[in-house]
Every structure is written in structure tokens, then in C-alpha cells.
Amino acid sequence: MTNKTVLHAKHLASNAKMVDFYGWDMPINYGSQIEEHNAVRQKSGMFDVSHMTIVDVQGPDAKAFLRRLVINDVAKLTVAGKALYTGMLNEAGGVIDDLIIYFFSDTNYRLVVNSATREKDLAWMTKQLAGFDATITERPEFGIIAVQGPEAKAKVANLLTPEQIAAVEGMKPFFGVQVGDLFIATTGYTGEEGYEIIVPEAEAENFWQKLLDLDVTPCGLGARDTLRLEAGMNLYGLDMDETVSPLAANMAWTISWEPEDRDFIGRDVLTAQKAAGDQPKLVGLVLEEKGILRSHQVVVTEFGNGEITSGTFSPTLGHSVALARVPRSVKVGDVIEVEMRKKNVKVTVTKPSFVRNGKKVF
Amino acid sequence: MSNIPSELKYASSHEWVRNEGNGIVTVGITEHAQDLLGDMVFVELPDVGDEVSTGDDVAVAESVKAASDIYAPVTGEIVEVNEDLEDSPELVNSDAFGDGWLFKIKLDDEAELADLLDADGYANSIDED
């Protein structure tokens, strides 16, 4: 049984090319992935991300539960609406999923996790909940629409009530607010400004259509992938999974080591890995000549081999970029080699971030 | 269902062949093939003067999604390549049977054209995919 989002009929009406995405029939593009990518970098585009899983965590122990569950510390969240990106680890220190947590109060949080990992995430959370006085509640009755790009916020403003406009006015990145029927967050997966908006199912089609009427470009999973890769954002299942430490996935910044007595799952393993200093690291690779870096290609360095975790053609830069896991001794600026079809090519190591707000950043 | 012009010949590996007369054929990839590959970003073409045999991988169409080999549908010599694709690989997407052509081959043996699929034969072959 294939799942369909509440916007499925809208995709078909826009001539989307549909693909199976972990059990969901989703648009890969509406004609040209590159044109959709460029729309987000230059104007505005929108994505149906209703397949993602919303989980509310509530109750007297909600805070204590999340301080145990994830590697970042939700105790850092003190302003209502503030969001946190982090990872959820297994006992061996591998990444079960990456997620965003919105803080409403010490007894009320909203998590957004990946759809591909939905079942194992819910099973893991339920298992870890034992002993905590809190509830976890999936919220499938919403659509989620991401509107991204330099013109995105202005386009969305046309659809908001005066009260909603006032609430999002000047809202900093990585905040979310519920006003009326909409939950509006300044988050995204593209490296551009914009919103991710949680809409009641009954209103989702209408919301989408109004954005279409305002010339916001509908974008598929193809453009979503090239945009997030240019922005240097990880994709679960490619850049990290249950066998990969967050230290090896450019997620060290999402770990809160302080306070030392916070016993989050995987802490002992991460502490030992950090002390040993032997975890590989995730870097960016840039290929200026012809060709496209792709997942699983072998990276050759003087310190040993690594692997490309995701690679693509960057429409913004006009050449290929990739994320790769390489030995820790490899440095930004090094020139190393990638085994491509029938030949080795030279690539330059960069920080794992290529484009932000329409501009090259390496 | 994508467009499959009846005046062309086809290989099951999704190349089309147009007989230009004088023993020369133009080769490209079909609309169906470009649709499977998605937005084209590089096309690596053979060199003029290369001798190619039927089934040789002679070019690479690299799209956002994947790199795909293109095979010589007939045996002969490469006499021209589409240099416009260097700057505009998207022509393969927008006009697969026209401006998106890849290369021209001077046939060693014109009789080889009879071994290729006609439009119906190609349509059947992609139905089986």
C-alpha cells in the first residue's frame, strides 16, 4: 500500500513525475529539477513535505525524557518556539535519526523526524519512554509545506492573517509559532530563507493552490536533494545511519557535552571516540572539471581511503560537489582523488557547505 | 507514452538512428531515455575520426540523477559530433530527436540498418522494461 500525502492530487494536476519514496508516492520533479532548484535560489519554491513525521512529546517528564533521548540538550531551550537540530543515537553511538525539536514549554515539545525512519523512531522512543511520565503522540492529521527562497516570506505573507503576520514579523531563524490554524517555522532544508508551515489537512490543498497562484514554483524531491547538498545539510540514510557516529557525520556541533552529568543515550561511546580522536570526518569535495561525484565512490587520500556519502551536480555553481567521509587527518584545501568511471579525478577538500542564500560559501 | 518518430530506427539501449543518405547516420538518445535520466548536465562525446563497433560504449550522458553509457548502434567512423551540447546539454532533454543529437557515423555497411528496431519494435521493447 503506497501512502499519499494530502497534496497528492495537486502534484498530479501539475504534471509531477512521481516516484516511490520509502512507501510514499512523491513528486521527484514537475518537469525540470534544475529549473526548480534555480527558482528556490533566485525566487521562491515550495515542497510538499507532508510525509515527514510530527511527534508531540508532552507531560511532566517531557524535558527529562528528551534530555536522555537526544545528543543536544533541550534544557538550552528557554524561549517558546525555539527549535533545535540534533540526533537520536542507539546505545552503540550510531545515529538512529536526525530531527528538529521545537520547544513550547518544559512539558510540551514537538519533534519532526524523517518519514523513512518513522517506524523505528517511534518504536525506539516508545521503548525509551519507560519510567518517564510523558506521552508521545504522532500527529498525522497535518500537511507540511516548505516555502523557500529569497521571495518566500513575502509570498507567504499574502496568505497570512494580520495576527499571523505580526507573529512572524522579525522571527529569527529556527523558531516556530502556532497562530490560528498554522504552525509557521523559520526552518528549511535548502540554505535559503523561508518557512516550513504545518497546515491542517483540510486546508492544505487550498494553501498550496494559493501559493501556485502567486507563482511560487512547485519543487520535487530532486531539487530538494540538490539544494540541501549545496547547503551542506545531511540526508539520513546517505550521510549517516545507525552505523555512523555523529562525530563522523558533521554533527558534533549538535552534541551538548555540558553539563557532564546529563546521561544521554550513547554518551559513553561518544566520549571514548572523542578521546581516541580516531573517527573519520565529513568534508566537502569540489570537482571543477567535467563529471559528477556520486554516492559510494571511493576517495583516495594519503591517510587512507574514504567514501562519498552524497554527490551531485550543483546547479548554482555549475560543477559537481559532494559530501565525503574521510580520515580525520585530511585538511580543508587538500587536493585528493576520487575514483570515477574509468579514471581518477582530483578534487579539492572544503568545509561541508557550498551555497547559502544564493552565494558560494567556500 | 513518449514520442517515437516512425521515420527513425532504434536500438533497444535507447539510441535513435536517422539515415541521412550517403552512408551517414545521425545518432541520439530517445525522448523516453532522456525522460528516464532527467536533466542532462554533461554529455561526453566521442572524437571525430574514432572507429566504433556496434555495442561499444562511445559516449556518456550524465544527468543530475545518473551517468548512463551510450552505445554505438552501428559500426563505422565518427564523422561529426554535436558541439552545441558542450554548453547546452539540456538540448538532449528539450529536443531529443532534433537539436539534441549526439554524433554522426559513416557506416561501414549500410545493410546493418536493417538490424535495428523500427518504431513499433522500440515501443514494444520499452513496454517490456
Question: What residues does each domain of chain A span?
Answer: 1-231, 246-360
**Which helix or strand (DSSP H or E) is residue A9 part of?**
helix A8-13
| Chain A CB contacts of B57 below 8 Å | none
Q: Which of B52, B51, B70, B50 is nearest to B60 (CA)?
A: B70
Q: Which residue of A has its CA nearest to B68?
A: A341
Secondary-structure breakdown of chain A: helix, strand, coil percentages, each rounded to the nearest 5 = 25, 35, 40
- Max distance between CA atoms of chain A, in angstroms, equals 60
CATH fold for the domain made of A1-231? Gyrase A; domain 2 (3.30.1360)
Q: Mind listing the domains of chain B with CATH numbers? A: 9-109 (2.40.50.100)
Kindly determine whether residue B64 and residue A341, on different chains, have CB atoms separated by under 8 Å: no
A331 Cβ contact list (under 8 Å, min separation 6): A349
Q: What is the pLDDT of residue A46?
A: 98
Q: Which residue of B has its CA nearest to A19?
A: B36
Phi, psi of A69 (to 5 degrees): -75, -40
Q: Which of A174, A16, A15 is nearest to A85 (CA)?
A: A174
| Chain A CB contacts of B90 below 8 Å | 34
Q: Alpha-carbon distance A306 to A356, whole Å?
A: 26
Q: What is the pLDDT of residue A268?
A: 97
Q: Alpha-carbon distance A198 to B6, whole Å?
A: 50
C-alpha cell at A177: 509559532
Kindly determine whether residue B62 and residue A292, on different chains, have CB atoms separated by under 8 Å: yes
| Chain A CB contacts of B62 below 8 Å | 291-292, 313
Q: What is the mean pLDDT of residues B30-59?
A: 95
| Chain B CB contacts of A312 below 8 Å | 64
Kindly determine whether residue B38 and residue A33, on different chains, have CB atoms separated by under 8 Å: yes
Q: Alpha-carbon distance A297 to A311, whole Å?
A: 9
Q: Is the pLDDT of residue B66 over 90?
A: no
Q: Alpha-carbon distance A12 to A27, whole Å?
A: 9
Contact A76, A86 (CB under 8 A): no
Q: Is the pLDDT of residue B129 over 70?
A: no
To the nearest whole angstrom, how far is the Cα of B43 from the nearest Cα of chain A?
Answer: 9
Q: What is the pLDDT of residue A343?
A: 86
Residue with cell 540514510: A237
Taking an 8 Å Cβ-Cβ cutoff, which residues of chain A contact chain B? 28-29, 32-34, 222, 226, 290-292, 294, 312-313, 315, 341
Q: What is the pLDDT of residue B1?
A: 52
Kindly determine whether residue A294 and residue B44, on different chains, have CB atoms separated by under 8 Å: no
Q: Alpha-carbon distance A317 to B115, whole Å?
A: 44
Residue with cell 569540489: A286
Q: Is the pLDDT of residue B127 over 90?
A: no
**Domain A246-360, CATH:** 2.40.30.110
Q: In a 3-state reduction of DSSP, which class is residue A6?
A: coil
Kindly determine whether residue A32 and residue B39, on different chains, have CB atoms separated by under 8 Å: yes
| Chain A CB contacts of B58 below 8 Å | none
Test the A interface: residue of B56, B64, B65 with most A CBs within 10 Å: B64
Kindly determine whether residue A312 and residue B64, on different chains, have CB atoms separated by under 8 Å: yes
Instruction: Give the Å distances, CA to CA, from A67 to A86, A255, A258.
Output: 11, 11, 12
Q: What is the pLDDT of residue A273?
A: 98
- Max distance between CA atoms of chain B, in angstroms, equals 37
Q: Alpha-carbon distance A10 to B57, whole Å?
A: 41
Q: What is the pLDDT of residue A290?
A: 87
Q: What is the pLDDT of residue A322?
A: 98
Q: Is the pLDDT of residue B128 over 80?
A: no
pLDDT tens by residue, A81-91: 999 999 999 99
Q: Alpha-carbon distance B78 to B80, whole Å?
A: 6
Q: What is the pLDDT of residue B2?
A: 77
Handedness of CA A299, A301, A305, A306 (dihedral sign): negative
Q: What is the pLDDT of residue A99?
A: 98
**pLDDT < 70 stretches in chain A:** 1
Q: In a 3-state reduction of DSSP, which class is residue A174?
A: coil
